[in-house]
Structure 1
Amino acid sequence: MKKTDSGRLFAFLLAVLAVEAGLAMWRGQLLVGKHEGDMLHLLEIVFRMADGEWPHVDFMTPIGFMAFAPIALFVKLGAGVGHAILYGQALVGLCLVPLAWRAGVSRLTGYWPYLFGAVIIVLATALVHGQAERSVSISMHYNRWAWAAAFVAILIATLPPVEDRRNQTADGIVVGLALAFMALCKVTYFAAFIIPVAVGLLAHRQYRTFLLALATGLAVAAIVTAFAGVGYWAAYVGDLLRVSASQVRSNPGEPFAAVVAAPAYLGGSIVLLMGVILLRQAGKATEGMVLLLLTPGFFYVTFQNFGNDPQWLLLLGILLFAARPAQDVKNGFGWDMSMAVGLAGAAAFAMIVPSAMNLAYSPIRHLGQDAAQHTPLLPGATLHSDLQTGTVRAMRVDKRVPMDEPGSGLEALAEKAGREPPVVLNGEELPRCEILLGLPALFDGIATSLEESGHGGEGIFIADLFSSIWLFGDFARLEHGAPWYYGGLPGYEMADYVLVPNCPVHPKVRELVLERISERGDSLVEVDRTPLYILLQKG
């Protein structure tokens, strides 16, 4: 197969980046259609970082700082957060261009480097996390970025270099940077793929690549330590351990067994395992072995990601087509192994087409959004009004309540269904309900109420999933707080008051927070009450 013109490939990747990022920025604002809670989580972290705080050290999160640093950079430079998100994505895409170029030109031939590079850029600049749902969303952008880095490192480790394109120094730097980014963006990816990547490099006798990747990773770690301090790493590990033991969200989707063998995923699992078998039968033992080692990591990362989208199928298709043997190679059954491996690759592509197309044309879909149907996510932040969400989702506050409450006529069903008893606060049963929609309006209403009752400027710990009240009013930001609750009482020590919502976003979190406070022996004295919340002072 014809070798790729390296200069043409680099220009192509820049063109794809210009188109994808340019289309996303065309409107001059970011209009999202779902995941408002995730957006509040993102904004709290970005604003904290723009003010000089470090994740893990100054606030709790299992997500690494590189997931937010590109966005925080542009906020610090004065951009509205909607623009900052789009600029941050473009910056990540630009940084990935040389990595994708080196991986593609050194391991692939023909048109495959172009497809591979385009996939990397699309993952960096898309305006949806994947799947086939058509709403625009920036939620979980770090999963896309981490997949892009993982694809680069895995491609270099799995396939041998193309003749006359060997450069172990360049390969080592690229792999080291990709692995370092995974570790500092979402460590799940690093943990899942570090061993297969290392084994792949050693199996292909890429010893210098292995050593330079290690040195590059250590150099990045040293730079981070110089800026964040030695305690950064202990704090990072501490956050990861707390999240892994979380009763709230240790994993955000299907059980692990379902991600491997449920009807929606079984086809991809079979294609992956068949790819391993076919490669080994085709005489590609090293590629087959590395692919087998990658299998648990592919499954685990999918299990850890919301939506359980098996985006590794994109890479699997490219790997299988690139690793096809010569056409005269046959297995014990007489099969043409080039065709067999190619068919497996085609099957992998077919299964991921809906998600891949959704990612690729999401910037175009963003152009078609009706601005009149959107409203700023942060109503009082003029600078950041360039980030907007659907008006209905922002302003219509909906809740879910059980119908088998006392007096409903269905009381007998509650016990049979195993419904948990209501949460009790100071001897009073709290309402059983759950917020489904309208988080921006809810937080804005609570913030306004608190300020009108004279609690502006106070540090308020919220017994719920989010602690985003300071984004909507003049309230102190809690030191060592958690933008997303995973467990414990992060930020509680610095709080003046505890706010218990009458209807929380996550009822289990409200229950856990009150249990933890009770275990400490702290008393909570009610100082204010509205239809939305009970405000208590720590005793």
Structure 2
Amino acid sequence: MKKTNAGRLFVVLLAVLAVEAGLAMWRGQLLVGKHEGDMLHLLEIVFRMADGEWPHLDFMTPIGFMAFAPIALFVKLGAGVGSSILYAQALMGLLLLPLAWRAGLSRLTGYWPYLFGALVIVLVTALVHGEAERSVSISMHYNRWAWAAAFIAILIATLPPVDGHKNQTADGIVVGLALAFLALCKVTYFAAFVIPVAVGLLAHKQYRAFMFALATGLAIMAVVTAFAGLDFWAAYMRDLLRVSASEVRANPGAPFAAVIAAPAYLGGSIVLLFSVILLRQAKKMTEGLVLLLLTPGFFYVTFQNFGNDPQWLLLLGILLFAARPEGGITNGAGWDMRTAVGLSGAAAFAMIVPSAINLAYSPIRHLGQDATQHVPLLPRATLHADLQTGTVRALRADKRVPMEVPGSGLDVWAERAERGQADVLNGEELPRCEVMLGLSALFDSMATSLAESGHAGERIFIADLFSSIWLFGDFERLEEGAPWYYGGLPGYDTADYILVPQCSIHPKVRGLVLERIAQRGDTLVEVSRTPLYILLEKG
């Protein structure tokens, strides 16, 4: 195929970004349809960072600061948080566009650079995490951003440069920037792909690119250290280790074996492994080797991501079509390898096309949302009223309770089902139930009740998945707290009061927190009680 026109490619990618980001921002507000808990987690981190706090040093999270820094920047500049999220996605698109342009230009020909660049932009600007989920959601945006950066580094490392666009210095800088972003956004991506990327560069004899990638990564590390200090890295590692040992959320979805061999994923796994064999038979030894090394990383990252969406199938299809050999090469079975590798690429695309379409048209779907069916996620935050969620999901507080009430006859079956013991607080069994809807109403009601009982301005530790009460009223943040509970008692030592919900968002967390407090030997003295919570102080 003839060489790609660099200027035309850049203009086309810029147009794709303008359309995708422009459609998302058109309304001037962000209307989400689910994952309100994830939004509270996001808001707590963003507001803390906008106030000058650093992840890991000032609060606990396994996610890197680059996942939130672009959003915090716009909040710091005075924008509402809903608009800030959309502006941040557009900004990330602008930052990754030149990297995607260079990667596509230097490794692909024909229409493939356009498809690759558009794919990167869609991943960055989408308004859903993937799958075939039709609701608008910004949840786990950092997974999409990380996939986009990973695709750039992997493409450059897996394929040799095309004639006319060889520039190892530029390639190395692009790879270094992409990998550094992964390390500072979602480190599991970095851990999964850094070795295959390094091997790919060296196997293609891109030694200068390897050295420039290493130098770029070290330079970014030095800049971060200059601003955050050496303790930042130790704190980052400490948070990652805590989460890896978490009893609550070491992984957010299906077990690792299921991500490889369950019915929903087995087809993609077979295509991936089969593709490695086909590339080797097609005399594409280096490409086959790198793809083989990428295989565990693809599975691991999918396992670590909520929804377990194998987004790598999008990249696999592009890699296979780009790596097709010239016609005339056959394997031992007499297959034409150009056709066989192309068919494998087509199979990869076919398996992920529902997710890809969903990502691409999610901004259009957002444009069609009915604003009258949404309310602000934070009812009292006037500036941030541009972040809204579905009225029913925000305001209708529903809970799920067991049916094994005394005399029902179901208690015998409950024992056989090993439901476990009820949580106990000061000798009292707490209700067994789980909050299903209405997080906004729940937190706002608790904040109002606490303020009316004279606890405004206090630090409240909540024995549940979130301690986000300060987002809904005049309360202090927990020092070294955790926007999302993974384990231990983060922020507990700085708390003035402990709030134990009568019905928890995550029942297992409530039980674990009470266990950890009991293990410390602390006594909790009840201060007040409402239908929603029990408020206690450390004795």
Instruction: Check whether TM > 0.5.
Output: yes
| Distance in 2 between residues matched to 1:70 and 1:138, nearest whole Å | 14
| Distance in 2 between residues matched to 1:335 and 1:487, nearest whole Å | 54
1:423-460: CA deviations, max 9, x gaps? 11001000000001111110001101100111110000
The alpha-carbon deviation at position 64 of structure 1 amounts to 0.2
The alpha-carbon deviation at position 414 of structure 1 amounts to 1.3
Is residue 130–residue 356 contact of structure 2 (8 Å, CA) maintained in 1? yes
Q: Which residue of 2 aligns with 1:328?
A: 328
Q: In structure 2, the residue corresponding to 1:102 is in which secondary structure?
A: helix
Q: Which residue of 1 aligns with 2:432?
A: 432
Is residue 268–residue 351 contact of structure 1 (8 Å, CA) maintained in 2? yes
Q: Which residue of 1 aligns with 2:219?
A: 219
What residue ranges of structure 2 are gaps of 5+ in the alignment?
Answer: none
Q: Which residue of 2 aligns with 1:243?
A: 243
1:109-140: CA deviations, max 9, x gaps? 00000000000000000000000010000000
Identity %: 83
The alpha-carbon deviation at position 286 of structure 1 amounts to 0.4
| Distance in 1 between residues matched to 2:178 and 2:407, nearest whole Å | 59
Where do 1:276-291 residues align within 5 Å?
A: 276-291=276-291
Is the aligned partner of 1:189 residue 2:196?
no
Is the aligned partner of 1:207 residue 2:207?
yes
- Give the number of aligned pairs: 539
Q: In structure 2, the residue corresponding to 1:375 is in which secondary structure?
A: strand
Where do 1:316-395 residues align within 5 Å?
A: 316-395=316-395
Deviation larger for 472-481 or 409-418: 409-418
The alpha-carbon deviation at position 410 of structure 1 amounts to 1.6
| Distance in 2 between residues matched to 1:206 and 1:2, nearest whole Å | 23
The alpha-carbon deviation at position 406 of structure 1 amounts to 2.8
What residue ranges of structure 1 are gaps of 5+ in the alignment?
Answer: none
Whichever residue aligns with residue 436 of structure 2, its letter is: L
The alpha-carbon deviation at position 253 of structure 1 amounts to 0.4
| Distance in 1 between residues matched to 2:416 and 2:128, nearest whole Å | 41
Q: Which residue of 2 aligns with 1:494?
A: 494
TM-score (norm 1): 1.00
Q: Which residue of 2 aligns with 1:231?
A: 231
1:158-182: CA deviations, max 9, x gaps? 0000012110000000000000000
| Distance in 2 between residues matched to 1:278 and 1:421, nearest whole Å | 54
Whichever residue aligns with residue 270 of structure 1, its letter is: I
Q: Which residue of 2 aligns with 1:269?
A: 269
Is residue 405–residue 414 contact of structure 1 (8 Å, CA) maintained in 2? no
| Distance in 2 between residues matched to 1:149 and 1:458, nearest whole Å | 41
Q: Which residue of 2 aligns with 1:19?
A: 19
Is residue 3–residue 164 contact of structure 2 (8 Å, CA) maintained in 1? no
Is residue 150–residue 189 contact of structure 2 (8 Å, CA) maintained in 1? yes
Q: Which residue of 2 aligns with 1:5?
A: 5
Where do 1:389-538 residues align within 5 Å?
A: 389-538=389-538
* Coordinate RMSD, CA, aligned: 0.5
Q: Which residue of 1 aligns with 2:140?
A: 140
The alpha-carbon deviation at position 221 of structure 1 amounts to 0.4
TM-score (norm 2): 1.00
| Distance in 1 between residues matched to 2:358 and 2:132, nearest whole Å | 6
The alpha-carbon deviation at position 103 of structure 1 amounts to 0.2
Is residue 72–residue 84 contact of structure 2 (8 Å, CA) maintained in 1? yes
| Distance in 1 between residues matched to 2:418 and 2:83, nearest whole Å | 47
Q: In structure 2, the residue corresponding to 1:437 is in which secondary structure?
A: coil
| Distance in 1 between residues matched to 2:88 and 2:368, nearest whole Å | 22
Is residue 460–residue 498 contact of structure 2 (8 Å, CA) maintained in 1? yes
| Distance in 2 between residues matched to 1:411 and 1:342, nearest whole Å | 58
Is residue 377–residue 440 contact of structure 1 (8 Å, CA) maintained in 2? yes
Whichever residue aligns with residue 224 of structure 2, its letter is: V
| Distance in 1 between residues matched to 2:465 and 2:488, nearest whole Å | 12
Is residue 128–residue 137 contact of structure 2 (8 Å, CA) maintained in 1? yes
| Distance in 2 between residues matched to 1:423 and 1:367, nearest whole Å | 44
